[in-house]
């Protein structure tokens, strides 16, 4: 696909050509046709990362650069991917990452996402910036467990009200995003004046009291729907008031993740926000081992960012993650096929995970031990020799 001078995809008008989902056999294959169906500003919003997009490229590449060391002659005729997270039974360790405004991709918005996730037995984390109210999310999820991603608001009283509504709607955990006191240098969005696009609302935060900031666009740093003064005491406060477990999302440093656990986080997510915040931070595959080490099995560690293949999922698990989350590919599936597209994206990834387990000689998740990673295996082999 042609690149424009800022590294984005072309600004062509959206195509309404139907795409046969069955022709898309891997997650990367969804990207180009999905982009083609989105209006240019939305296309760039989804695809883009911060600044020069070094981390954006790194997130995908870093998983590919890790080698695998398969065991041979193991009976893999029966494969099991079931696991547990915060007391919830999961059919497989692939979750939907929270992403904003699903009506920008499909008229049914988050309801279609939840329906697709249900069909693929996957747990959804729903965004504070979704296009669907909490009550409607709860109704769409029915008895399926789901988590609510929280952006702490400048008004903590209002934040508490959002927490109350999310839990009343059925959220089984709060996922507190800790890496976004403000947005990164999203050049593509600035160029497209994305903030000024009409027609989308954010019902969950619609009543958030925000102060108008009269700052020239090129000097704007803060965002009215993100609290720039969020600190560790907010995490402690949230853990105290929340009737459901609090998970923190957005760690790259081991010491930060360990401190989150000290503050009461029930799980932590290694994430760089899909490379959308601070460019040149490491890929999440690079950061994951540091967090796993520091957390030392006290709580589950999850990871997202650039996960596109079953081998990426398996590597995350081999490195000590309990589960992974997927962001952009879900949006691609939703754009191309609504609930069916979301379902297909997850099912392809799950199938690839199972294939990778079979080919690694690891029929269950418990068999995914670190010696199946080439660097670990190679280091141990060198020590033995
Ligand atoms: C379009 C878009 C919107 C996002 N919105 C949110 C959000 O509202 N809250 C949040 O915590 N993370 C948000 N994220 C980050 C994702 O939760 C996740 O960390 C990231 O997409 C994972 O990387 P991947 O897209 O490479 O899979 C968003 C990401 C994208 C691409």
The CATH number given to whatever domain includes residue 342 is: 3.20.20.70
Q: Please report whether residue 176 resides in a domain.
A: yes
Which of 316, 255, 301, 296 has its CA nearest to residue 59?
316
The count of structural domains within the chain is: 1
| pLDDT score at 2 | 44
**Three-class DSSP category at 31:** helix
Instruction: From first to last of the 385 residues of the chain, give the pLDDT tens digit.
Output: 444 544 455 678 888 888 999 999 999 999 999 999 999 999 999 999 999 999 999 999 999 999 999 999 999 999 999 999 999 999 999 999 999 999 999 999 999 999 999 999 999 999 999 999 999 999 999 999 999 999 999 999 999 999 999 999 999 999 999 999 999 999 999 888 887 555 788 999 999 987 776 788 788 888 888 999 999 999 999 999 999 999 999 999 999 999 999 999 999 999 999 999 999 999 999 999 999 999 999 999 999 999 999 999 999 999 999 999 999 999 999 999 999 999 999 999 999 999 999 999 999 999 999 999 998 888 888 888 8
Q: Please report whether residue 212 resides in a domain.
A: no
Question: Which protein residue's CA is at the shortest distance from atom 30 of ligand 1?
Answer: 99
The three-state DSSP-derived secondary structure of 309-370 is CHHHHHHHHHCCCCEEEECHHHHHHHHHHHHHHHHHHHHHHHHHHHHHHHHHCCCEHHHCCH
**Ligand 1 pocket residue status of 306, Cβ below 6 Å:** yes
User: From its phi and psi, is residue 21 left (phi > 0), alpha (psi between -120 and 50) or beta?
Assistant: alpha
Alpha-carbon distances of 94 from 82, 90, 166, 255, 303, rounded to whole Å: 10, 9, 22, 26, 10
| pLDDT score at 179 | 97
Q: Which helix H or strand E contains 134, and what residues bound it?
A: helix 134-141
Q: Is 106 a catalytic residue?
A: no
**Quick check: 132 and 109 in contact, CB under 8 A?**
yes
**Ligand 1 pocket residue status of 305, Cβ below 6 Å:** yes
**Three-class DSSP category at 48:** coil
Distance 44 CA to ligand 1 centre (A): 14
Distance 74 CA to ligand 1 centre (A): 38
Q: Please report whether residue 51 resides in a domain.
A: yes
| pLDDT score at 196 | 58
Overall residue count recorded for the chain in this entry: 385
User: Counting atoms of ligand 1 from 1, which one is nearest the CA of 275?
Assistant: 23
List alpha helices for 142-193, DSSP H: 156-169, 187-191
CA distance 270 to 292: 9
For a ligand 1 pocket test, name from 273, 285, 312 the mutation site with the most ligand atoms within 8 angstroms of its C-beta. Answer: 273
Q: What phi and psi values does residue 371 have, to the nearest 5 degrees?
A: -65, -10
Tokens standing for residue 114:
């939840």
For a ligand 1 pocket test, name from 99, 269, 281 the mutation site with the most ligand atoms within 8 angstroms of its C-beta. Answer: 99
Distance 97 CA to ligand 1 centre (A): 6
Q: Which helix H or strand E contains 46, and what residues bound it?
A: helix 40-47
Q: Please report whether residue 2 resides in a domain.
A: no
CA distance 54 to 84: 34
Those residues with Cβ within 8 angstroms of residue 75's Cβ, 6 or more apart along the chain or in another chain: 363
**Ligand 1 pocket residue status of 59, Cβ below 6 Å:** yes
Cα–Cα–Cα angle for 232, 267, 111, rounded to 5 degrees: 105
Secondary-structure percent of the chain, ordered helix, strand, coil, rounded to 5: 45, 10, 45
- What is the domain extent for residue 373? 30-198+219-384
Q: Please report whether residue 183 resides in a domain.
A: yes
Q: Please report whether residue 213 resides in a domain.
A: no
Q: Please report whether residue 54 resides in a domain.
A: yes
**Quick check: 312 and 66 in contact, CB under 8 A?**
no
Tokens standing for residue 123:
């747990």
User: Counting atoms of ligand 1 from 1, which one is nearest the CA of 269?
Assistant: 19
CA distance 147 to 246: 10
**Three-class DSSP category at 304:** strand
Question: Which protein residue's CA is at the shortest distance from atom 15 of ligand 1?
Answer: 273
**Ligand 1 pocket residue status of 93, Cβ below 6 Å:** no
Q: Are strands 146-150 and 174-177 parallel, antiparallel or unpaired?
A: parallel
| pLDDT score at 10 | 62
Which of 66, 72, 79, 80 has its CA nearest to residue 361?
72
Distance 130 CA to ligand 1 centre (A): 12
| pLDDT score at 209 | 87
Cα–Cα–Cα angle for 369, 247, 176, rounded to 5 degrees: 135
Residue 111 C-beta-side C-alpha neighbours within 13 Å: 8
Q: Please report whether residue 4 resides in a domain.
A: no
**Ligand 1 pocket residue status of 129, Cβ below 6 Å:** yes
CA distance 103 to 201: 9
Question: Which protein residue's CA is at the shortest distance from atom 6 of ligand 1?
Answer: 99
| pLDDT score at 6 | 47
């Amino acid at each position: 696909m042609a690149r424009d001078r800022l590294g984005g995809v072309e600004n062509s008008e959206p195509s309404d050509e139907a795409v046969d989902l069955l022709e898309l056999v891997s997650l990367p294959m969804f990207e180009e046709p999905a982009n083609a169906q989105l209006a240019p500003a939305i296309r760039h919003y989804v695809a883009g990362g911060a600044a020069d997009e070094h981390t954006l490229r790194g997130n995908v590449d870093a998983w590919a650069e890790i080698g695998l060391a398969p065991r041979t002659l193991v009976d893999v005729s029966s494969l099991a991917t079931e696991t547990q997270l915060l007391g919830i039974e999961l059919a497989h360790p692939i979750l939907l990452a929270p992403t904003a405004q699903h009506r920008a991709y499909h008229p049914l918005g988050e309801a279609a996402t939840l329906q697709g996730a249900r069909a693929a037995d996957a747990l959804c984390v729903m965004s504070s910036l979704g296009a669907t109210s909490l009550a409607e999310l709860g109704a769409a999820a029915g008895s399926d467990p789901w988590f609510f991603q929280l952006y702490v608001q400048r008004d903590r009283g209002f934040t508490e009200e959002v927490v109350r509504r999310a839990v009343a709607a059925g959220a089984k955990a709060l996922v507190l995003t800790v890496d976004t006191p403000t947005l990164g240098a999203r050049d593509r969005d600035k160029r497209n004046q994305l903030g000024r696009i009409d027609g989308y609302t954010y019902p969950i935060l619609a009543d958030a009291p925000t102060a108008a900031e009269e700052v020239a666009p090129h000097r704007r740093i803060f965002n009215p729907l993100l609290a720039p003064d969020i600190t560790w005491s907010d995490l402690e406060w949230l853990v105290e008031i929340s009737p459901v477990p609090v998970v923190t999302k957005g760690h790259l440093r081991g010491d930060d993740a360990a401190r989150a656990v000290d503050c009461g986080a029930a799980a932590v997510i290694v994430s760089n926000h899909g490379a959308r915040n601070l460019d040149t931070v490491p890929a999440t595959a690079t950061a994951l081992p540091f967090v796993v080490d520091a957390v030392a099995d006290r709580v589950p560690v999850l990871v997202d960012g650039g996960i596109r293949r079953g081998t990426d999922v398996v590597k995350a698990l081999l490195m000590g993650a309990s589960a992974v989350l997927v962001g952009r590919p879900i949006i691609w599936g939703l754009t191309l096929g609504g609930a069916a597209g979301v379902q297909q994206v997850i099912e392809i990834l799950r199938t690839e995970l199972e294939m990778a387990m079979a080919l690694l000689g690891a029929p269950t998740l418990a068999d995914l031990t670190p010696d199946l990673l080439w660097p670990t295996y190679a280091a141990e082999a060198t020590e033995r020799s």
